Amino acid sequence: MDYASKVIDKEECKNLKVVFSNKLNGVNGTCYPFLRTIIYCDGYMRLNRNNIDAITYTVVEECAHLVRLPHDEIFYKVCCDLGCDVSSPPKGIKYYWKYFKQCKKCGNEKYYNRKPHNKLCKKCGSESTIFFGKVNE
């Protein structure tokens, strides 16, 4: 079966819903093939807007899920047919997280989507600082 042409088939794309969400942090996007819906992380798209490889990688990856859900051999082939090898993420890709905790003593970092209540560092037990809207690579 020619999966890639199935994705770009006009009928297949007709009812496709593409959403940019600010609730989907820490990932690039997600696909619900049965609802014909692709959700992209708004923060990720903004953060990587100057990195065409990171954007292509994400768009192709989610579109391929429309016809193939598991990350298996067929899935990676579909991505290649759509013009992007997603088996390894492009350089300089950044993920958006809502919160970020950094230890004042050892510098240990942790990322969160919800505000962390525990300020103590898991590594050394010292107090951490909590930041808003931080990025990791």
Residue type for position 81: D
Residue 120 three-state SS:
strand
Of positions 106, 120, 133, 136, contacts Zn ion by CB under 5 A? 106
For Zn ion, the binding residue among 123, 130, 131, 134 (CB under 5 A) is: 123
Q: With respect to Zn ion, which residue has the nearer C-beta, 20 or 32?
A: 32
Only one of the segments 1-9, 13-21, 41-49, 113-121 lies at the binding site for Zn ion (rule: CB under 5 A); that segment is 113-121
Annotate 23-67 with DSSP letters as a single string: S--SSSEEEETTTTEEEEEHHHHHHTTT-HHHHHHHHHHHHHTTT
Binding stretches for Zn ion (CB under 5 A): 103, 105-106, 108, 121, 123-124, 126
